[in-house]
Amino acid sequence: MTDLPYHHGKLREALLARATEIIEGVGVEGLSLRQLARDLGVSHAAPGKHFRDKQALLDGLALDGFRSMNARITAASEADGDHRARFVRIAQAYVDFAVSHPVLLTVMHSTKHHPDASDELRNIGEDGIRIARALIAEAQDAGELASGDVESLALVCFVSLHGAALLAAGNLLDGASVDDLTFATTELLWAGMVAGVPAPAETRDGTSGRRLR
């Protein structure tokens, strides 16, 4: 029985690590600061020294989550292959992350826009779309994709894959395999970008025919 030192030393990291385990196991609502403290053999108020309140802890988790996710996506975007292959790989990286850390993902997104989130937290979610934007612009320049509003296309791709990731993470695709869905989604998006969207004048959708931006 080596008696524990008065100071834990790495409480902050330990809290984040243990909290990550817990939320993936029992969900955010099952996360208790006091239980967390007990798990780490520390007094119930100790977490308060590192995270002012529960939300601050969740913010910390979200930040770590974004860092880790962005690293994976960036790595995927830098692999070799043609534009389309990289597009698919980026999508897979995103969806894989979502499936591996479903609860974390919801924490990340529910946290990102609450009033007093840190600047870093508010900006770090944009990496994914930046990467998509760059890739699409490149592919357009290479003549592989029809020309079109890069900003809008990147946003649409991001949003679509986000949906796939969330549904996959939430286990809402009863039969379908996640990989198949991811692939089908990239396939359809890419096909749309290859074909290009109809010129604004031709759109006849019953609405005002407005364009993005």
Partner DNA sequence: CTGTTTATGTAGCCAATGGCAACATAGTAG
Partner DNA sequence: CTACTATGTTGCCATTGGCTACATAAACAG
Using CB under 8 A as the binding rule, whether residue 155 contacts its own copies is answered as yes
Site for DNA in 36-55 (CB under 7 A): 37, 42-46, 48-50, 52-55
CB 30 to DNA: min, Å: 9
Nearer to DNA, 57 or 156 (CB): 57
DSSP-derived secondary structure letter, 171 = T
* Nearest residue to 194 via CA among 134, 152, 159, 153: 153
Segment interacting with its own copies, rule: CB under 8 A, options 6-14, 44-52, 134-142, 205-213: 205-213
Q: What does the buried/exposed string (b/e) look like for 36-53 if buried means 16 or more CB atoms within 10 Å of the residue's CB?
A: bbeebebeeebbeebbee
Nearer to its own copies, 40 or 166 (CB): 166
- Are residues 51 and 57 in contact, defined by beta-carbon separation less than 8 angstroms? yes
- Are residues 156 and 189 in contact, defined by beta-carbon separation less than 8 angstroms? yes
* Nearest residue to 182 via CA among 118, 88, 70: 88
Using CB under 7 A as the binding rule, whether residue 2 contacts DNA is answered as no
Using CB under 7 A as the binding rule, whether residue 98 contacts DNA is answered as no
162 binds, among DNA, its own copies, none (CB under 5 to 8 A by kind): its own copies
95 binds, among its own copies, DNA, none (CB under 5 to 8 A by kind): none
Which residues, including other chains, have CB under 8 Å from residue 62's CB and lie 6 or more apart?
A: 104, 107, 108, 111, 112, 121
Binding mask 67-86 for its own copies (x = CB under 8 A): --------------xx-xx-
Q: Which residues bind DNA (CB under 7 A)?
A: 5-9, 11, 31-35, 37, 42-46, 48-50, 52-55
